[in-house]
């Protein structure tokens, strides 16, 4: 379980900023809609 935790931490460190940037870009483009409204 520890290895999985470390792997997920590395994944977040690599792809976290990319996902955040995509969410910010999406909320900017679709500013009239809530980002998580469809979930």
DSSP 32: T
Q: What is the dihedral of CA 9, 14, 20, 23, to 10 degrees?
A: -110
Q: What is the CA radius of gyration of the chain?
A: 14
Model pLDDT, residue 35:
55
Distance of alpha carbon 14 from alpha carbon 8, whole angstroms: 10
Distance of alpha carbon 19 from alpha carbon 4, whole angstroms: 20
pTM across the whole model? 0.39
State the 10-residue block means of pLDDT for the chain, 39 residues long. Answer: 86 85 79 58
∠ CA 3-9-11, rounded to 5°: 105
């Amino acid at each position: 379980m520890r290895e999985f935790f470390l792997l997920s931490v590395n994944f977040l460190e690599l792809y976290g900023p990319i996902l955040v940037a995509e969410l910010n870009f999406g909320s900017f483009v679709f500013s009239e809609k809530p980002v998580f409204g469809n979930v």
